[in-house]
């Protein structure tokens, strides 16, 4: 079973409190009486010196002082002259003190007569003598002090021991009672103290456990400037630094993963690119090789067949040349070798120029062309690249227009950009292919693309050019067809 620091503190301080109470009781029981004896002896000596200083041989002169000492300290006082006649004794009444004759010690008319043996001890000593005696008749013990005063008289002080022992017993009993209450109060104080002391430690432990789980949101509220407060500040600082370091590691790890993923994609794209190029070149090379061999061995039966063979070879060579040029162009744009030569130009005129250049092809296919231009736009971009995008969109629309034979070219303003949109009636592009058509060599309908000589690189060139310009581009399926669009920066 785990032992908490709160329990350890509570047990330790409670045991110390109990030990203090028991030790206090033991010391009182064993040494209080002895201490009282020593204290009483010291008190007797002090009063001896006090009386010695004030006494001039006449007890009547210091009667008030003597009575005060007798009543406050419970002492019996006897003064004898050098011949051992009693001059004052506490047991006499005041009228007796003034009128009764004194007798030598040993008479029977007095309530208390000092012990002659004790007086003899005082005669043989220059200092007060303290001895203990027992009154067999009263069955009581006494502490006695006898000493010679400055004028030659003798002073006898006597106090019963029973008062000391009773006081010690009462003190011991009271010590036990107070000890019990001290113990109870002490336990309560210790309980609240340990609870208050351990709460910050438990809080710090909770924060540390959260840090182990990489949760750095919890902080210790520093309210004191003691060791716990300093530890809390250190934990907070450590938490902040760890959070910062781990975030940096996470970012570095994410960047590394992105780099690895990008490298993997580049590798996949490279493999796919090689496969696509090989596939695109395979057919024209095979056709050129076949028809060239036919011409070599004169398999053609007429001049018309010979011309057909030559036309096929020329056509396939043109397709290969177009493919290679587009590959080189796309590669240069992606690699950043092609720099944009931005100028301000009239976008409306550029669109009109591209449409006029392709008007014969549009009429040949009986396509209905509609233009929707809101305003005149002056834009800032590489005019050759923008022309190529418009051409790619327009040729793509001409080749994919369905039996409705409809193309719409729209020019409008969107925010701080000019947007060119090219719509063609036809079959919508599948949703899963909308993002893929911008990839090199991707073809939704490969057979149809082959029929009009498409390479699958036109939209890839659009993507690369727009990314180089830092502008948006896209495609969307609309009612009765498909719409491609791109944006150009307006000139300042």
Q: Tell how strand 129-135 and strand 86-89 pair up.
A: unpaired
Q: How many CB atoms lie under 10 A from the CB of residue 40?
A: 19
83 vs 381, residue with greater confidence: 381
Strand 368-373, strand 406-414: pairing = parallel
Residue 357 has pLDDT above 50, yes or no: yes
Whether the Cβ atoms of residue 462 and residue 472 lie closer than 8 Å to each other: no
pLDDT tens figures, 379-415 = 999 888 898 888 888 888 888 887 778 899 999 888 8
Q: Does the pLDDT value for residue 288 go beyond 60?
A: yes
Q: For 435-457, what is the mean pLDDT?
A: 61
* Digit-coded pLDDT (tens) for 6-24: 677 777 777 877 787 788 7
CB contact burial 254-263 (16+ within 10 A = b; e otherwise): eeeeeeeeee
Mean model confidence pLDDT for the chain = 77
Sign of torsion over alpha carbons 382, 387, 388, 392: positive
Query: In terms of Cα–Cα distance, which of 94, 160, 146, 90 is closest to 115?
Result: 146
Would you state the pLDDT for residue 105? 44
What confidence category does residue 421 fall into, taking pLDDT thresholds of 50, 70 and 90? very high
- pLDDT score of 488 more than 90: yes
C-alpha 290/C-alpha 309 separation (Å) is 9
Q: How does 164-175 read in b/e, with b if 16+ C-beta sit within 10 Å?
A: beeebeeebeeb
Query: Which structure tokens are listed for 265?
Result: 């994609």
The tally of CA atoms less than 13 A away on the side-chain side of residue 312 is 18
**Does the pLDDT of residue 269 top 70, yes or no?**
no
Please say whether the beta carbons of 132 and 143 come within 8 A. Answer: yes
pTM over 0.95: no
CATH architecture label of 214-335? Orthogonal Bundle (1.10)
Question: How far is the C-alpha of 119 from the C-alpha of 146, rounded, in Å?
Answer: 7
**Other CB atoms closer than 10 Å to residue 396's CB: what's the count?**
20
Q: Say whether 480 sits in a helix, a strand or coil.
A: coil
At residue 109, the pLDDT reads 43
Query: Stretch 280-291: mean pLDDT, rounded?
Result: 69
Q: From residue 74, how far is each of 96, 97, 145, 157, 367 by CA, in Å?
A: 21, 19, 14, 10, 139
Residue 176 clears pLDDT 50, i.e. is over it: yes
Alpha carbons within 13 A on the beta-carbon side of 94: 5
Q: Are 152 and 46 in contact (CB under 8 A)?
A: no
CA 106 – CA 216 distance, rounded (Å) = 97
Beta strands in 70-119 (DSSP E): 76-80, 86-89
- Quote the CA–CA distance of 19 and 41 in Å, as a whole number: 32
**CA angle (412, 420, 324) in 5-degree steps:** 170
Taking only the tens place, the pLDDT of each residue in 302-353 is 677 677 778 777 777 776 776 666 666 666 666 665 677 889 999 999 999 8
pLDDT attached to residue 301 = 61
Percent of the chain with pLDDT over 70: 77
* Of the candidates 257, 259, 265, the residue with the CA atom closest to the CA atom of residue 439: 265
Angle, alpha carbons 124-127-133 (nearest 5°): 75
- The answer to whether the beta carbons of residues 104 and 111 sit under 8 Å apart is no
Tell me what pLDDT residue 380 has.
Answer: 92
Same topology, domains 214-335 and 339-489? Answer is no
According to DSSP, the residues that pair with 373 across neighbouring strands are: 411
Which of 354, 369, 444 has its CA nearest to residue 401?
Answer: 369
Q: Please compute the mean of the pLDDT values over residues 196-217 and round it to a whole number.
A: 77
Confidence (pLDDT) at 419:
92
pLDDT grade, residue 202 (50/70/90)? confident
Q: What are residue 57's phi and psi, to 5 degrees?
A: 110, -15
Least trusted range by pLDDT, from 13-22, 59-68, 111-120, 342-351: 111-120
Residues 379/345, Cβ–Cβ less than 8 Å: yes
For the chain, give the percent of residues with pLDDT over 90: 6
Quote the pLDDT of residue 448. Answer: 45
Q: Which residue has the higher pLDDT, 374 or 477?
A: 477
pLDDT at 159 over 60: yes
Q: Is 60 exceeded by the pLDDT of residue 294?
A: yes
Residue ranges covered by each domain of the chain:
5-169, 214-335, 339-489
Cβ neighbourhood burial of 437 (10 Å; 0-12, 13-18, 19+): buried
Mean pLDDT of 182-186: 78
The fold of the 339-489 domain, in CATH, is Heat Shock Protein 90 (3.30.565)
Task: Indicate whether 108 pLDDT > 50.
Answer: no
Angle at 356 between CA 353 and CA 362, to 5 degrees: 135
Inform me whether the pLDDT recorded for 196 exceeds 80: no
Q: Using pLDDT thresholds of 50, 70 and 90, give the confidence band for residue 247.
A: confident
CATH number for the domain formed by residue range(s) 5-169: 3.30.450.20
d(CA 31, CA 168): 9
């Amino acid at each position: 079973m785990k032992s908490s620091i709160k329990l350890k503190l509570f047990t330790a301080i409670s045991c110390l409190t109990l030990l203090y109470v028991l030790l206090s009781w033991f010391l009182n029981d064993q040494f209080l009486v002895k201490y009282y004896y020593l204290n009483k002896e010291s008190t007797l000596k002090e009063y001896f010196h006090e009386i010695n200083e004030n006494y001039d041989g006449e007890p009547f002169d210091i009667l008030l002082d003597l009575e005060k000492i007798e009543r406050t300290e419970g002492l019996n006082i006897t003064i004898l002259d050098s011949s051992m006649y009693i001059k004052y004794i506490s047991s006499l009444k005041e009228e007796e003190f003034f009128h009764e004759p004194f007798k030598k010690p040993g008479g029977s008319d007095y309530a208390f007569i000092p012990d002659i043996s004790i007086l003899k001890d005082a005669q043989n000593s220059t200092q007060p003598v303290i001895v203990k005696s027992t009154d067999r008749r009263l069955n009581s013990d006494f502490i006695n002090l006898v000493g010679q005063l400055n004028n030659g008289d003798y002073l006898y002080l006597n106090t019963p021991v029973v008062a000391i022992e009773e006081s010690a017993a009462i003190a011991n009993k009271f010590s036990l009672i107070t000890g019990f209450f001290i113990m109870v109060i002490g336990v309560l104080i210790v309980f609240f103290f340990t609870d208050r002391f351990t709460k910050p430690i438990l809080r710090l432990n909770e924060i540390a456990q959260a840090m182990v789980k990489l949760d750095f949101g919890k902080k210790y509220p520093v309210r004191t400037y003691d060791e716990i407060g300093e530890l809390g500040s250190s934990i907070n600082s450590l938490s902040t630094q760890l959070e910062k370091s781990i975030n940096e590691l996470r970012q570095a790890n994410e960047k590394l993963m992105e780099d690895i993923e990008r490298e993997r994609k580049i590798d996949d794209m490279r493999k796919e690119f090689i496969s696509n190029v090989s596939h695109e070149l395979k057919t024209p090379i095979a056709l050129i090789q076949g028809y060239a061999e036919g011409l070599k061995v004169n398999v053609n039966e007429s001049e018309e067949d010979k011309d057909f063979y030559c036309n096929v070879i020329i056509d396939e060579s043109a397709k290969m040349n177009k493919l290679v040029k587009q590959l080189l162009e796309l590669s240069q744009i992606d690699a950043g070798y092609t720099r944009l030569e931005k100028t301000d130009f009239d976008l409306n005129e550029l669109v009109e120029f591209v449409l006029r250049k392709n008007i014969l092809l549009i009429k040949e296919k009986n396509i209905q062309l509609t233009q929707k231009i809101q305003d005149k736009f002056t834009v800032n971009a590489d005019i050759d690249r923008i022309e190529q995008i418009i051409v790619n969109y327009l040729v793509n629309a001409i080749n994919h227009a369905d039996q409705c034979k409809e193309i719409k070219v729209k020019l409008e303003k969107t925010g701080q950009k000019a947007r060119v949109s090219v719509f063609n009636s036809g079959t919508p592009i599948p949703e899963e292919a909308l993002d893929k058509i911008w990839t090199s060599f991707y073809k939704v309908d490969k057979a149809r693309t082959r029929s009009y000589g498409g390479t699958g690189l036109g939209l890839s060139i659009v993507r690369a050019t727009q990314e180089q310009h830092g502008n948006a581009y896209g495609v969307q399926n609309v009612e009765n067809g498909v719409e491609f669009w791109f944006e150009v920066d307006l000139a300042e």
